[in-house]
Amino acid sequence: MAIIVNLDVVMATRKMSLNELSETVGITLANLSKLKTGKVKAVRFSTLEAICKALECQPGDILEFVED
């Protein structure tokens, strides 16, 4: 099983840059970049909530479960 992070897709549809999202959410550019590329093992609900507020989306728009 795998969790796919579609943050880049949602950011592109909202026309928001990584720098802008980083400033809006209040997390470092490095951590946001790791999240965007799926190189993190966990994400805090508070961070996910802030990202969803900034991008005006639902958690399911960003995270996707795919069975192997």
Q: Output the pLDDT for position 38.
A: 87
Sign of the torsion formed by the C-alpha atoms of 41, 65, 44 and 51: positive
In whole angstroms, give the CA distance from residue 5 to residue 33: 11
pLDDT digits (tens, 9 = 90+) for 12-68: 999 999 999 999 999 999 999 999 998 998 999 999 999 999 999 999 999 999 997
Q: Output the pLDDT for position 68.
A: 78
> 63: part of which helix (H) or strand (E)?
strand 63-66
All structural domains of the chain with their residue ranges? 2-66
Look up residue 35 and give its two tokens. 């999240």
pTM: 0.90
What class does CATH assign to 2-66? mainly alpha
